[in-house]
A and B are shown apart, each in its own frame.
Chain A
Amino acid sequence: MKQQNGKTKNMAILLSFLLFIGGLGIANVLLPEKDFSATENRVLASFPKFSLSALLHDKWTQKFEAYVPDQFPLRDFWVGMKASFQTLLGQRENHNVYLGKDDFLLMKYETMDQKLQAGSFSAIETFAQAQNIPVYFALIPDSSYVYGDLLPPVSLCGDEGELFAAAQKAFSAAHYIDLSAPFRTAGQTQKDLYYRTDHHWTTQGAYLGYQMLSAAMGNTADDLEAFDRQVLSARFYGTLRARSGSWWVSPDQIVGYAPKTSATVEIYENNELVQTTDGFYAADRLTTADQYSVFLDGNHSKVVIRSGNSGKKLLLFKDSFAHSLIPFLSTQYSEIHMLDLRYYKTDFEKYIQDYGFDDILILYSANNFSTDRNLPFLNLKSGG
């Protein structure tokens, strides 16, 4: 009887093992390849073509090792299981995302490299010195700074405050606008300045930014009631949820505040106008995984917003945080040129002369700024 039990047990072990490795192995081979992972927002590796020369000279085996996990069945399921396992061990961080209190996800900030920081600051200062119109520079604090109390205890998250303090002292020609203090103060009571599942500020956060920027730039901010509120998405799962694999957190909402007078939005790629739309929202983006792109259709190298309000023109160097701010800013400028330094590089001095701007604003989130290496391109000279 005992021996019989042993046989059954061993048979069960053998079968479950073989079924597991064989079944998933066969599924891995037979399932059709996917080109793109929406949750990860990247192109997946495909089967590397085999040849003897690829094997000997072109690291075929390494490409194969990259292909297998990328095309593994139920990829998201496994990533979620790993995240749950990590949580079960009592850990509160996965892929540099903290699982904060109240299911609030916060991006880890790594203290900015001092050399990079000095280089970026001096690029902005040099750029400002060369202009005869005001150059404003503002850093948007991230949720880990504003909602530091939501971070897990002793989290080892870097302190963006060091970056803000350094920025306070770094400029004379450029006007540095501090957003960190007002956001921290507002954050005490307002818990909706940032998405719980995404690294961006919410439209409410952007409105606060708009108020602060307006005051510093000599503009008048409209009341929030002056804009039409609409829920753009009731189920928004952002980048931090995707990155951390914490599928269990509940969705955010994307709210839009549209000004009474709308605007036309011109989108350029490689300096060519590819699309002109009325209004600020790209509704078709709401059916993709990257719903935040509903604002101005996501990242493009150059976007021009024409509103017909007042007569001032703004040149804006920015990251994606600016996209939800634009509807507010559009009430103060007739024309906004929004450039992404990562993709748009030109002789900006000439660009400024060509279009005749009144204000220049450089606006980045602190976390993006801390790793961005493109600011020196502000001082690019043609032919030089």
Chain B
Amino acid sequence: MVFSSLTFLFLYLPVVLLIYYLCPRKYRNAVLLIFSLVFYGWGEPLYITIMLFSTALDYVCGYFVGKYRQSNVRRARIALAVSMIGNLGMLGFFKYSGFLVENLAMIPGLSGLTAPSITLPIGISFYTFQSMSYTIDVYRGDAPVQKNILNFGAYVTLFPQLVAGPIVRYKDIAAQMNERRETLDQFASGVQLFCVGMAKKVLLANQFGILWEQFKAVPPSQLSVVGAWVGIVAYALQIYFDFSGYSDMAIGLGRMFGFEFPINFNYPYIAKSITDFWRRWHITLSSWFREYVYIPLGGNRKGLPRTYLNLFVVWMLTGFWHGASWNFIIWGIYFAVLLMVEKAFLLRGLQKAPAWVGHLYTLLMVLISWVFFSIDSLPQAGAYLAVMFGGGASLIDAQALHGLLYWAVLFAVGGIAATPLGKQVYQKFLLRFPRLEGWLAPALCVLVLLVCTACFVDSSYNPFLYFRF
């Protein structure tokens, strides 16, 4: 099920909220577990079994890790290894076996191999990472063992962040799983954030998506230079509002049930460097990789060559996590190289330069990266880049003009919404007109709900971009 649908908003959510709040506190995690399984099974009921298997595996492994981590480290390590092999094995089987076979088949002698057709269970990249963090945190002594399987099941399956994050590390939420107090203030702030997220997804991301599709459908040889830029900027806004909108909705929904999830985006497009960008984009993923891969590899504590190697490994994996194809690996390595160059000298240079240089450089590098991210054929991506840098059929054509003209309002709104400017204007406005304070927020929430409902009715089917991860 997706958040941006009538079924979720008007049937699923009211029922879950009603039953959740009618139930005594001690049954609430069980309510969440059951409804999360319904949410997950909605797309493919059979995949609930994978979810239950993953939950049971990590519950048992976590139990043994906790039991032996002081008395018998070897056994604790075996339990941890079982958990990691189990999770990564599932991820590998469902997500990467097709890719592996396809590439093996290119080796002479192995050309008879055919890729198995496996449907990717939604959210598997997210929940395997999330449940692995439990056994690792227990092993490290960062979190206690969760004895109650319902509480643990609720953690793994929690529907708000189940399919597209934020990736919540167990230690950050362990205490909330056992005990939390839902409050009016938290609920109301959850509603507001949910509405902000829905506006980003439905009113902005989807509109930019329509524009990007127009450019993506044209062979690069027929694109104009301006058209290629308009297209990739539209994609940049689409993916940001889509993904950060989803995260906002998830965090907002979490608050309605008394959870506080970590933030996932912090205005990434105002970053001053790529290093800065990755502290602001998909924060929970990069901190997962830092915490569980980069630092265990030695991070930056083992000399410069090793630091670079670690960066390379982590970013190649980050790229590969985003999708089982070469363009994502290239995309990851591209960022690894940029981060190394920044570490070597560029960051110091950027600090001395005027701020706009850093902003411009970052935006440019990020836009180039989105070309590789969004176009999965490498020659096509290369051709698209060539058009951006002057190799177009013309400087500007009707398609580019059309995009600029009819998306002008959206580009303006999107540009403001992607920076802290919108929030600042809103707060200044409230300072100026304090009497509006009481009803402006509720009115805006209702407005967003109305227009989004109109969009859902108008087009009923609209899957999230991040569903393929």
Interface set of A (CB-CB < 8 Å, partner B): 5-14, 16-18, 20-22, 24-25, 28-29, 55-56, 61, 64-66, 68-70, 72, 75, 78-79, 81-83, 85, 89-93, 153-156, 245
Other-chain contact of A82, B187, B408, B409, B458 (Cβ < 8 Å) = B458
Cross-chain contact A68 with B7 (CB below 8 angstroms): yes
Are B14 and A21 interface neighbours, CB within 8 A? yes
Question: Which B residues are CB-close (under 8 A) to A22?
Answer: 14
Given contacts A6-B185, A81-B451, A90-B408, contact A65 B445 (CB under 8 A): no
Q: B184, A78: Cβ atoms under 8 Å?
A: no
A59 nearest CB across to chain B (Å): 10
Q: How far is the CA of A37 from the CA of B376 in the complex (A)?
A: 41
7 closest Cβ contacts across the A-B interface? A10-B188, A78-B457, A69-B460, A81-B454, A82-B458, A25-B10, A12-B442
Please, how many angstroms separate the alpha-carbon atoms of A154 and B406 in the complex? Answer: 9
Chain A residue with the shortest CB-CB distance to B461: A65
Segment from B84-92, B357-365, B394-402 that makes contact with A: B394-402
Q: How many A-B residue pairs have CB under 8 A?
A: 126
Contact A9 B437 (CB under 8 A): yes
Q: Which residues of A contact B407 (CB under 8 A)?
A: 91
Closest to A81 in B: B454
Cross-chain contact B457 with A69 (CB below 8 angstroms):
yes
- Chain B minimum-CB-distance residue to A78: B457
- Using CB atoms, name the residue of chain A closest to B413: A89
**Alpha-carbon distance between A323 and B458 when the two chains are bound, in angstroms:** 31
Closest residue of chain B to A90, judged by CB? B409
Q: Which residues of B contact A61 (CB under 8 A)?
A: 42-43, 45
Select which of A85, A91, A155 is within 8 A of B451 by beta carbon. A85
B398 in contact with A154 (CB, 8 Å): yes
Q: Is the CB of A75 within 8 A of B14?
A: no
Identify which of A16, A17, A64, A89 contacts B7 (C-beta below 8 A): A64
Interface residues of B in 286-304 (CB under 8 A from A): none
Task: Give B contacts to A, CB under 8 Å.
Answer: 5-7, 9-11, 13-14, 17, 42-43, 45-46, 184-185, 187-189, 191-192, 203, 207, 398-399, 401-402, 405-410, 437-439, 441-442, 445-446, 449-451, 453-458, 460-461
Interface pair B442/A24, CB less than 8 Å apart:
no
Is A9 touching B457 in the complex (CB atoms < 8 A)?
Answer: no
Known: A28-B10, A89-B207, A154-B398. A72 touches B438 (CB 8 A): no
Residues of B close to A16: CB separation below 8 A? 442, 445-446
Complex contact A78–B453 (CB within 8 A): yes
Given A12-B439, A25-B10, A65-B7, does the pair A154, B401 have CB atoms closer than 8 Å?
A: yes
Q: Would you call the interface of chain B mostly helix, strand, loop, or mixed? A: helix
A8-B438, A89-B409, A90-B408 as given contacts; A20 in contact with B184, CB under 8 Å: no
A18 to B446, CA, bound (A): 11
Chain A residue, CB-CB nearest to B12 = A25
Query: Which of chain B's residues have a CB closer than 8 A to the CB of A70?
Result: 460
Chain B residues with CB under 8 Å of A65's CB are 5, 7, 460-461
Query: Which residues of B are found within 8 Å of A72, using beta-carbon distances?
Result: 6, 10, 457
* B438→A68 contact, CB < 8 A: no
Pick the most buried of B398, B445, B449, B454: most chain A CB atoms within 10 A of its CB. Answer: B454
CA distance A14 to B454 in the complex (A): 21
Given A69-B460, A79-B457: A91 in contact with B438 (beta carbons within 8 A): no
In the complex, A234 Cα to B313 Cα: how many Å?
Answer: 72
Partner of B6, one of A14, A20, A68, A82: A68
B456's nearest neighbour on chain A, judged by CB, is A69
Residue of A nearest to B453 (CB): A78
A91 to B208, CA, bound (A): 13
Task: Evaluate contact between A56 and B442: CB separation under 8 angstroms.
Answer: no
Neighbouring B residues of A91 by C-beta, 8 Å: 406-407
Given contacts A24-B10, A56-B46, A156-B399, contact A14 B457 (CB under 8 A): no
- A9 touching B438, Cβ below 8 Å: yes
Chain B residues closer than 8 Å to A90, beta-carbon distance: 405-406, 408-409
Q: Please, which residue of chain B has its CB at the minimum distance from the CB of A72?
A: B457
Which chain B residues border A154 with CB–CB below 8 Å? 398, 401-402, 405
Chain B residues whose CB sits within 8 angstroms of the CB of A89 once the complex forms: 207, 409-410
A384 to B136, CA, bound (A): 71
Q: Most chain-B Cβ atoms within 10 A of its Cβ — which of A89, A153, A245?
A: A89
**Between-chain CB contacts (< 8 Å), 21 pairs:** A5-B437, A6-B185, A7-B184, A20-B449, A25-B10, A25-B14, A29-B11, A64-B7, A72-B6, A75-B457, A78-B458, A85-B454, A89-B207, A90-B405, A91-B407, A93-B406, A154-B401, A154-B405, A155-B402, A156-B402, A245-B458
Taking CB atoms, residues of chain A closer than 8 Å to B445 are 13, 16-17
Chain B residues with Cβ below 8 Å from A155 are 402
Assembly CA distance A235 to B140 (angstroms):
75
A169: min CB distance to chain B, Å: 25
B402 contacts across to A, CB distance below 8 A: 154-156
